[in-house]
Amino acid sequence: MARSRDRTEDFRDTVQSVARFIGYNESKMASILASMIMHKPPQRSPFTKAALKTLQSIEELERFILKHRKDYVDLHRTTEQERDSIEHEVSVFIKVCKDQIDILKNRISDEVESGSSKSWLGLQKDGSQADIVAHRHGVVLILSERLHSVTAQFDQLRAIRFQDAVNRVMPRRKLHKVASANSSDVTKSNISDLRGQDLPSEPLRVQEQLLDDETRALQVELTSLLDAVQETETKMVEMSALNHLMSTHVLQQAQQIEHLYEQAVEATMNVKRGNQELSQAIDRNSSSNTFLLLFFIVMTFAILFLHWYS
């Protein structure tokens, strides 16, 4: 029985010779073989590209927070203006990321309403469409949780900064303790002096009671005064934070007003140039009318002269 012969090499040589005859060179044939072996990755959808861009923005925000963590918390590394600038940049970052996530949510809703979601094979089916919508909702949820975790880190840093500010402006309670100790020492010394004297027991108890009442009243007054001062200073810190926020918004509005002013000046210049062009057009129109009138008069006299001459 005859053995079967392997003709693979002959087939390959024939294909290469035909390809060369058609006009394919070695590099082109190598690229075709590579494309047959290693398939190109499927093209990403616009939703996937937008989601990856949002994820990159969130990661960039996290890197920014980690980079400026010590600068924002440590009071000796940066000034208040620099920390406010860091907080403003983080707020802008968070707003941009949130807007991107909202755009993704709106895109999912629009595609569900229009029914434009397609399956992985490009065929529109109810089951595959539901799977894709669920997958995209999961992507949006993951991005939202990631953004929430990053903002929670910055909220912790902000709480540390606020607590440091409160601790700086809040008076120490040691003053209250020292005042209480001094008042008690004075009371004890007065009582001991009174006891050292030869006074009757009844007036001595009355004086002790009066001194105790005065001491308690003084302590209550000092405590209420200290609480009022602490509350006032806490409100002052909050007012300073609100004032900074208001100044930031006022600065933004000032920039917008300046931009509007520049646009108004530009519009005024355009109106002036338009008026000049209109004036020039009116002058040209009047001069052309005068020229036409003179032309008609001259032609009339010329015709009359020719008629008289003939």
- The domain 46-169 is placed in CATH, from the list 1.10.10, 1.10.132, 3.10.660, 3.40.190, at 1.10.132
What was the pLDDT predicted at 174? Answer: 45
**Domain boundaries in the chain?**
8-37, 46-169
* Residue position matching structure tokens 């082109």: 28
The residues, any chain, with a CB within 8 Å of residue 53's CB and separated by 6 or more, are 100
pLDDT under 50: residue ranges of the chain: 1-2, 116-125, 172-179, 191, 194-200
Task: Say how far apart CA 244 and CA 251 lie, in whole Å.
Answer: 10
Task: Say how far apart CA 232 and CA 234 lie, in whole Å.
Answer: 5
What was the pLDDT predicted at 254? Answer: 63
CB atoms within 10 A of CB 16: 13
What was the pLDDT predicted at 203? Answer: 66
Burial class (CB in 10 A: 0-12, 13-18, 19+), 158: middle
CB distance 210 to 160 below 8 Å: no
Q: What is the pLDDT of residues 62-78, one digit of tens each?
A: 899 888 888 888 777 77
Task: Say how far apart CA 228 and CA 233 lie, in whole Å.
Answer: 9
Task: Say how far apart CA 29 and CA 26 lie, in whole Å.
Answer: 5
Task: Say how far apart CA 153 and CA 146 lie, in whole Å.
Answer: 11
